Structure 1
Amino acid sequence: MTPASPSALSERSRSSRRPARVSSYARFLSRSTAVLFACAALVCAAPAEARKKTEHPSVNVTTVLPPAVMAGLQRAHVPLSSVSVVVEKVGDRTPMLALNAGKPMMPASTMKLVTTYAGLSMLGADYRWRTTAYADGNIDPNGVLHGNLYIQGTGDPKLVPEELIDLVQKIHGAGITGIDGALVLDKRFFDPSTRDLPAFDDDTEAPYNVGPDPLLYAFKSLSFTLTPSPDGSVAIDVLPALAQLQIDNHLHATGGPCRGTLNALNPVVTPEASGIVTASFDGNYPLRCGDRTINVATLDHSAFFAGGFLALWKQTGGTFNGTTREGAVPVGARLVATHLSPTLSDIVHDINKFSNNTMARNLFLTIGGVESKPPATPAKSIRAIQSFMQGSGLPTQYLTLENGSGLSRNEQVTALSLADVLQSANASPVAQVFVDSLPIVGVDGTMRHRLTREPVNGNAHIKTGTLRDVRAIAGYVASADGFSYVVVSLINDPRAEAARAAHDSLLEWVYQGPQAALTESLAEPVSAPVTEPRRNKLRKNPKRGAH
């Protein structure tokens, strides 16, 4: 693909922006209105002469990290053996800086780069998920369906209230105002085994632990907002509304300082035998704490979706006198309504900007379900992504996938492989969408609070990864030297959390211009020249070139 001009890409970026939709889920997927740097996507990194692959058969590669990066690692007490780094010029897959480049590492959420690039390439940026409604039985003159309403899901990752209401209104538009039968959920697109996947850790009610589902609704998370008042009351608002949810509020607003984490105020959510779900709050709430929002992932996916659908159904004047259950759409049922999700390009934007694990896991399974025959399984998705990467000339020897989100202790990749993915994505037809989905340093997403006062601010698209004992960055930096660079750094160490400053220093160093810095700092080459054949050896043997 021939790189587009900076002006063309900037104009495309401006014309593709749409008015922001007001969303109740801003706390999950808040969109920034920040201005992109001049070159909207880094495929336009440099003038024509600078974009050429080096004319020399080889270039010097260093394994010596910049002094500021070394200082950051030393302060964190992280040894070099726990660090993997690759820096390459965009369009030239020969590393300029490579340390432990072929060593398999846990990537945390930078694994989402593999999932989202594969998804965009295999499914297409305009791919949309379908959520459909079917009916059996007759509709009387009053609009009451004397039969069952079936909702069939295919894994829409962003079926939030603002989207599901479209399906509800279309069902009403088909002449149905009441349901005198069952609400039946058809979830066959994902294999039942995907429901039993273990949580990542013991915090089973944390939103990041929510697993995939064909009828994923609002990330299966309740968001309670507590607002204390001087009269001693505490108002509680909840999103999304669930038809079966009741709030038992025994909170009291008090004076005094706002201390502690207020974990004691988390609700106790109890499903009753009658189907009612009670969220109980109890305790004192200091006025000085102001508004607080507590996010809790509770109930199972089917109960959560049914409650959310029926709440919207009743809010729009619908009636329901039946029960809810799971089941298949019968052959004779007639199609009533279809809701199309936002495009995959929008979904990938949210996955990468805000590192949404649940959305990534739904996309991961969707790839397997579409490329193979449903029901989707992790094994089908792994095979499909590996096949795509092999067909694209990307290494898979040290790639270990589990759920595609990076929320895993089993997923592994090498820094060199991630650099290959970034180079391939940047030269692909989906480059614009892919690059734009990555957080902009100091501006938005998971990078919005980092390096805000440094020159690299606004000049890099970087995906972050964070787990206990893991810190990772991967993406593109538009450097002050007129070039753009691929940067990958993975840290796997018990003290990784303290090494974030080292990653920030690496991004600052790349922005200043690594080519000039390496020329000035290296009096003598510290290693033999790295050629493309040697890079292939690094891919095949992680011990070669590792430190």
Structure 2
Amino acid sequence: MPIASLILFSRRAPQFVSSFISPTLRSASPGEGAPSGRGLGRAALALGLCAALAFATPADARKLKHRPRVSVTTELPASVTRALERAHVPLSAMSVVIERIGSATPVVALNAGKPMLPASTMKLVTTYAGLEILGPDYRWRTRAYADGTLDTAGVLHGDLYIQGTGDPKLVPEELIDLVDRIRKAGITGIDGGLVLDKRFFDPSTRDLPAFDDDANAPYNVGPDPLLYAFKSLSFTVTPASAGTVDIDVVPALAQLKIDNELHTRAGACTSAEAAMPNVTPESDGTVEALFSGEYPVRCGARTVNLAVLDHTAFFAGGFLALWQQQGGTFKGATREGAVPIGARLVATHEGPPLGDIVRDINKFSNNVMARNLFLTIGAVADKPPATPQKSAQAIERFLTSKGLAMPELSLENGSGLSRDEHISALSLADLLQAANASPVAQVFVASLPVAGVDGTMRNRLRHDPVLGNAHIKTGTLRDVRAIAGYVAAANGESYVVVSFINDDRAAAARAAHDALLDWVYRGMR
């Protein structure tokens, strides 16, 4: 049965699973912001915007598989070229494709076939392929196995194994479900080890170098089969009474100790450096977060997000903190290892469906979630352990099966946080056309940020007519600005829009992309 011919932009912004997720997602990608998940902006609510995008028909989709590689060049509007000039970015650094939904011929094509750095718009390739290959209802499963005997007091005399399959959103509210299920299986204490089975991803996917020098930034977190809470701690510093300062941290880690030597002072909020802890692993296995110095009262509450420890220590600490909060006991050590053949399954946690995961990835440009999805595609399409090569080959096979020839495509980790990932504007436009004509069109399009309303587009074009009338994925690196998605124009037409700017001064040229979207909304007049 064909999908509906119209898609309506959501009147409600997505809600997070926990208050912890929001600040972490906000720092998930360098240069890209995200909302707190509290709903649409007041302007959008007041206007009650409800723009429509027309999907291509199956017949249109078949035509797109055999579309000609045209070389059309249409002069861009003065608003775009002036913005480039102000940023001192040459037109040759910009790649643009604009197409009507369902049409095989671009309306505008500038440097269309040139391989470009796409930054986070590469997530569109990963999420669309994931939705089609795995299905929107795909769920990751995290399992617990017991290897030992259980006494009448509920103490396991042996090891508890946790086996991960790369759940991208195993946050505290999700992991507590696994803890509860283990306890319902009769286990209240562990007189043995906590063993983590992480064979779903190949060891070569671990301990990769950070993308930049900010190794503790959440956007630099690498993938892991037992990714917990994006491997990031969220510290919130709040001035309290009598010159003291309160410190809250989420998620809780069993081995984390807070040393609070902060005190408040009067005066202007000139710096919040005191809110940045010095995190140090100790020889006894504990981790100390030291806060010291003066904190200006006028700074109010401040939150700092840090990616600390390795994945194994972070997951173990998070699991044990929840385990002990529920009254569970643990006397052993933590290590990695494979679940033995004789171990019995005692609990299974199913994560959110892929459709929800894709929404988080695209709305908030979460790199580590995209990387976990990328590797999952390879593990499912081939077999574990996943490698980037398996995943890239699986996605390329899928694209070929859809008639999407992309000879210039280069995939490294599927998130766009890379200097080695490339795609052309024409190829990404092809993918957007195919996605819009596919069975997963509604969940895919709805996952993209809405201009002026939510996600990484929340603070853009809020006072322009295109507000609420475009679903646009953004991409940001130091020398890259990118946009890709769909615009419902005022003339009733719907368009695919893709544009990349690759230049050392790209950061100053964001206005050119905003002007481009506004021009498309106005019918390119």
Q: How does 1:275-286 map to 2 (within 5 A)?
A: 275-286=285-296
In 2, Cα distance between the equivalents of 1:381 and 1:135?
32
Question: Which residue number in structure 2 is paired with residue 75 of structure 1?
Answer: 86
Question: Which residue number in structure 2 is paired with residue 227 of structure 1?
Answer: 238
Segment drifting more, 21-30 vs 320-329: 21-30
What secondary structure does 1:28 align onto?
A: helix
Question: Which residue number in structure 1 is paired with residue 461 of structure 2?
Answer: 451
Shift of 1:93: 2.4
Q: Read off the aligned partner of 1:290 and give its amino acid letter.
A: G
In 1, Cα distance between the equivalents of 2:205 and 2:70?
47
Question: Which residue number in structure 2 is paired with residue 381 of structure 1?
Answer: 391
Identity of aligned residues (%): 70
Q: Does 1:108 align with 2:119?
A: yes
Q: Read off the aligned partner of 2:216 and give its amino acid letter.
A: E
What secondary structure does 2:243 align onto?
A: coil
Question: Which residue number in structure 2 is paired with residue 95 of structure 1?
Answer: 106
Shift of 1:373: 1.4
In 1, Cα distance between the equivalents of 2:406 and 2:329?
53
Pick from 305, 310, 316 the counterpart of residue 300 of structure 1.
Answer: 310
Q: Does 1:143 align with 2:139?
A: no
Question: Which residue number in structure 1 is paired with residue 182 of structure 2?
Answer: 171
In 2, Cα distance between the equivalents of 1:60 and 1:359?
36
Shift of 1:478: 0.3
In 2, Cα distance between the equivalents of 1:479 and 1:81?
27
Q: How does 1:119-198 map to 2 (within 5 A)?
A: 119-198=130-209
What secondary structure does 2:24 align onto?
A: helix
Question: Which residue number in structure 1 is paired with residue 21 of structure 2?
Answer: 25
- The verdict on how the C-alpha distance between 1:465 and 1:19 changes in structure 2, with shifts beyond 3 A counting, is closer
**Deviations 1:89-148, CA, capped at 9 Å, x for gaps:** 011021101110011100000000000000000000000001000001111111111111
- The verdict on how the C-alpha distance between 1:37 and 1:392 changes in structure 2, with shifts beyond 3 A counting, is farther
2:237–2:246 contact (8 Å) kept in structure 1: yes
In 1, Cα distance between the equivalents of 2:141 and 2:461?
40
2:125–2:431 contact (8 Å) kept in structure 1: yes
1:59–1:96 contact (8 Å) kept in structure 2: no
Shift of 1:230: 4.5
2:50–2:468 contact (8 Å) kept in structure 1: no
In 2, Cα distance between the equivalents of 1:70 and 1:120?
37
Question: Which residue number in structure 1 is paired with residue 29 of structure 2?
Answer: none
Question: Which residue number in structure 2 is paired with residue 471 of structure 1?
Answer: 481
2:361–2:367 contact (8 Å) kept in structure 1: yes
In 1, Cα distance between the equivalents of 2:108 and 2:458?
26
Segment drifting more, 154-163 vs 188-197: 188-197
Q: Read off the aligned partner of 1:4 and give its amino acid letter.
A: A
In 2, Cα distance between the equivalents of 1:59 and 1:176?
64
- The verdict on how the C-alpha distance between 1:242 and 1:20 changes in structure 2, with shifts beyond 3 A counting, is closer
Pick from 267, 278, 283 the counterpart of residue 273 of structure 1.
Answer: 283
Q: Read off the aligned partner of 2:210 and give its amino acid letter.
A: A
Shift of 1:5: 3.9
Question: Which residue number in structure 2 is paired with residue 250 of structure 1?
Answer: 261
2:17–2:173 contact (8 Å) kept in structure 1: no
Shift of 1:62: 3.8
- The verdict on how the C-alpha distance between 1:492 and 1:59 changes in structure 2, with shifts beyond 3 A counting, is closer
In 2, Cα distance between the equivalents of 1:331 and 1:20?
38
**Deviations 1:429-477, CA, capped at 9 Å, x for gaps:** 0000000000000000000010111110000000000000100000000
Pick from 344, 347, 358 the counterpart of residue 334 of structure 1.
Answer: 344
Pick from 14, 25, 38 the counterpart of residue 50 of structure 2.
Answer: 38
- The verdict on how the C-alpha distance between 1:74 and 1:364 changes in structure 2, with shifts beyond 3 A counting, is same
In 2, Cα distance between the equivalents of 1:324 and 1:121?
37
In 1, Cα distance between the equivalents of 2:209 and 2:18?
34
In 1, Cα distance between the equivalents of 2:49 and 2:190?
52
Q: Read off the aligned partner of 2:174 and give its amino acid letter.
A: E
1:43–1:427 contact (8 Å) kept in structure 2: no
Q: Read off the aligned partner of 2:50 and give its amino acid letter.
A: A
Shift of 1:250: 1.0
Question: Which residue number in structure 2 is paired with residue 528 of structure 1?
Answer: none
In 2, Cα distance between the equivalents of 1:388 and 1:303?
36
2:275–2:302 contact (8 Å) kept in structure 1: no
2:192–2:333 contact (8 Å) kept in structure 1: yes
- The verdict on how the C-alpha distance between 1:74 and 1:504 changes in structure 2, with shifts beyond 3 A counting, is same
Pick from 494, 502, 518 the counterpart of residue 484 of structure 1.
Answer: 494
Q: Does 1:362 align with 2:372?
A: yes
What secondary structure does 2:242 align onto?
A: coil
Shift of 1:58: 13
**Deviations 1:70-92, CA, capped at 9 Å, x for gaps:** 11001001001100001000110
In 2, Cα distance between the equivalents of 1:68 and 1:18?
33
In 1, Cα distance between the equivalents of 2:17 and 2:225?
24
Q: Read off the aligned partner of 1:107 and give its amino acid letter.
A: P
In 1, Cα distance between the equivalents of 2:14 and 2:522?
34
In 2, Cα distance between the equivalents of 1:470 and 1:93?
27
**Deviations 1:178-218, CA, capped at 9 Å, x for gaps:** 11000000000000010132110111000000000000000
- The verdict on how the C-alpha distance between 1:59 and 1:21 changes in structure 2, with shifts beyond 3 A counting, is closer
1:39–1:45 contact (8 Å) kept in structure 2: no
What secondary structure does 2:206 align onto?
A: helix
- The verdict on how the C-alpha distance between 1:410 and 1:165 changes in structure 2, with shifts beyond 3 A counting, is same
In 1, Cα distance between the equivalents of 2:70 and 2:379?
44
In 2, Cα distance between the equivalents of 1:191 and 1:32?
38
Q: Does 1:432 align with 2:428?
A: no
**Deviations 1:241-279, CA, capped at 9 Å, x for gaps:** 00000011111110110013x235411111111111101
- The verdict on how the C-alpha distance between 1:284 and 1:196 changes in structure 2, with shifts beyond 3 A counting, is same
For structure 1, the residue ranges without an aligned partner over 5 or more in a row are 518-547
In 2, Cα distance between the equivalents of 1:323 and 1:422?
49
In 2, Cα distance between the equivalents of 1:60 and 1:334?
61
Aligned residues: 503
Cα root mean square deviation, aligned? 2.3
What secondary structure does 2:109 align onto?
A: strand
In 2, Cα distance between the equivalents of 1:22 and 1:135?
29
Q: Which has the larger radius of gyration?
A: 1
Q: Read off the aligned partner of 1:305 and give its amino acid letter.
A: F
Q: Does 1:85 align with 2:119?
A: no
**Deviations 1:487-535, CA, capped at 9 Å, x for gaps:** 0010000110000111000000000012xx2xxxxxxxxxxxxxxxxxx
2:24–2:232 contact (8 Å) kept in structure 1: no
In 2, Cα distance between the equivalents of 1:476 and 1:513?
13
2:274–2:295 contact (8 Å) kept in structure 1: no
In 2, Cα distance between the equivalents of 1:123 and 1:59?
33
Structure 1 length as normaliser, TM-score?
Answer: 0.88
